[in-house]
Amino acid sequence: MKAQIKLGTVFGIEVGLHYSWFFVALLIMFSLVVQFHAVNRSWTETVVWVAAISTSILFFACLLAHELSHALVAKARGLPVHNITLFLLGGMAQIEKEASDPSTEFWMAIAGPIASGVIGLVLLTVAWSLGWIPWRPAQTPGVAVLVWLGYINLVLGAFNMIPAFPLDGGRVLRAIIWWITGKADRSARIAAQVGQLAGWGFIAYGISSFFGGGGLGGIWFIFIGWFLLKTAGASLLQLQIGSLLRGLRVRDVMSQDCPSVDGSMGLQEFVDELLLKTGRRCFLVIDDHRVTGLITPHEVRDIERSRWPLVSVCEAMRPVSAIHSLSPDMSAMQALEMMGREDVNQLPVVVDGQLEGIVSRGHLLQVIHSRSELLGR
């Protein structure tokens, strides 16, 4: 999930929005307008819209608080946090490394639901102190906003505690199994399988509710079930790949015979003479005996074909400064994850500013393939 709109930085963590978030924001806003109209018919159109818009914005802040609490525990435990992205189904804090012990996993996972639960209770208490009587409709627009946000935070906390990996509850379950058995991978596999089971449960419930007259609520359950199945399946696949790559470091899988190209060469000549003839995909760009960047078909495609004769390799390449690099001691799995995050197929291996080799996704997939054939997993 890549953020398409960057909002800013909080506690050194980038916060961004995925386009699908706007769909949710609009859905929430329109359903709130309907709901606030129903709560009190005497409120004017303006009051209702202001209440609905401010509730949507505050809901965003609550989601962010949930994700930030995951991220801050991770940071406190020494795990680097890349960014937080809000999307269709809530938020996602991208934490660069997996927890290395069950207690970190436990606190990191449970921090979010705790934050949502506490925010929910505080908001409802404030509403109550302003005269709201529980289970009754709110009397003023301000209280209506507090009550809606209070409930939704409690729901958010409870939903995330469903023990379906990779939801927070699934991570908590994983941490507990890990703590009891001492096995990191096995606990994650069990938690992901429970997640798949929960996904099928949601779908079955959604279907029976839809045909039993439950209407659109049933479709929502089917959708959540499908999401759980998809994410749990992806986690299982990742675990399988992780176990196949176990023990391999970047230095084991990098290739050192990278072809190079002079930066001043024309792009058209590069395509005709090197890219199309050699079958190699990744070239180092050299200028004055120094590596200044990488060029692959991906970079070439970014330049309009009619401009190929006018542009040099140097102008088309991805400069070294714009590429995340690997160190030889990183695990092969980390390299694969980084390629996924950066959406690239090759990453350079750099030691003290000196290029040592290249790791490519294609090569890693070959390694995974041969290992799975020989190890029979």
Give residues in contact with Zn ion (CB under 5 A): 112, 160, 168
Closer to Zn ion at the Cβ: 112 or 199? 112
Closer to Zn ion at the Cβ: 153 or 160? 160
CA separation for the pair 115, 111 (Å, rounded): 6
Q: How far is the CB of 120 from Zn ion (least distance, A)?
A: 14
The number of helices, as runs of H, and strands, as runs of E, in the chain is: 14, 10
Q: How far is the CB of 61 from Zn ion (least distance, A)?
A: 15
For 311, the enclosing helix (H) or strand (E) is none
Q: How far is the CB of 90 from Zn ion (least distance, A)?
A: 7
Q: How far is the CB of 25 from Zn ion (least distance, A)?
A: 19
Q: How far is the CB of 113 from Zn ion (least distance, A)?
A: 7
Q: How far is the CB of 15 from Zn ion (least distance, A)?
A: 15
Q: How far is the CB of 21 from Zn ion (least distance, A)?
A: 16
What CA–CA distances, in Å, run from 49 to 35, 61, 136, 141?
A: 11, 19, 22, 10
Question: Among all residues, whose Cβ is closest to Zn ion?
Answer: 112
Closer to Zn ion at the Cβ: 109 or 350? 109
Closer to Zn ion at the Cβ: 105 or 168? 168
Contact 347, 356 (CB under 8 A): no
Measured N-to-C along each axis, helices 332-342 and 216-244 cross at an angle, to the nearest 10 degrees, of 140
| DSSP sequence for 211-249 | IIIITHHHHHHHHHHHHHHHHHHHHHHHHHHHHHSTT-B
Contact 190, 171 (CB under 8 A): no
Sole residue written with tokens 């290029």: 355
Closer to Zn ion at the Cβ: 168 or 337? 168
Q: How far is the CB of 70 from Zn ion (least distance, A)?
A: 5
CA separation for the pair 18, 28 (Å, rounded): 16
What residues contact residue 89 under an 8 Å CB cut-off, 6+ apart? Answer: 227
For residue 273, give both structure tokens: 């003479």
Closer to Zn ion at the Cβ: 112 or 242? 112
Nearest to 295 by CA among 316, 273, 320: 316
Closer to Zn ion at the Cβ: 166 or 263? 166
Closer to Zn ion at the Cβ: 111 or 317? 111
CA separation for the pair 69, 239 (Å, rounded): 26
In 39-162, beta strands by DSSP E: 81-87, 90-95
